[in-house]
Amino acid sequence: MEFSTTLLFPVQNGYRLTLTLMLNRQMYLITGTVGSRAKSGNLYHYELDITGRSVSRLEWIRGLNDWLLRGQPARHPYKVHYIYRK
């Protein structure tokens, strides 16, 4: 998983982050270690190697797909997902 922030986190195996995300009124807890960091302007871009989550991988993927579809249902890259769900 990738994310960007102004916060500076160490890139170490022992350093773990837990992120709380709210997607479509569903709360997800994602835990992982910072795999990499890159600076761009005033932001740091991180890659989080997921080590645990509050829901199964399938539920996490479904939640992300629903979030994408609700945000931009008419855009071409997501049209296939929209058709399959109907």
Domain count, the chain: 2
Query: What is the C-alpha separation between 49 and 31, in angstroms, rounded?
Result: 8
Q: What is the pLDDT of residue 37?
A: 92
Domain that holds residue 44: 1-54
Q: Which whole-number Å values give the CA distances from 48 to 14, 31, 42, 77, in the listed order?
A: 13, 8, 19, 25
Same domain, 3 and 42: yes
Give 7's contacts (C-beta < 8 A, 6+ positions apart): 44
For 1-20, the pLDDT digits (tens) are 899 999 999 888 778 999 89
CA dist., res. 39 & res. 13, Å (int): 19
pLDDT digits (tens, 9 = 90+) for 51-78: 888 888 888 888 888 888 887 656 555 5
71 and 34, same domain (yes or no): no
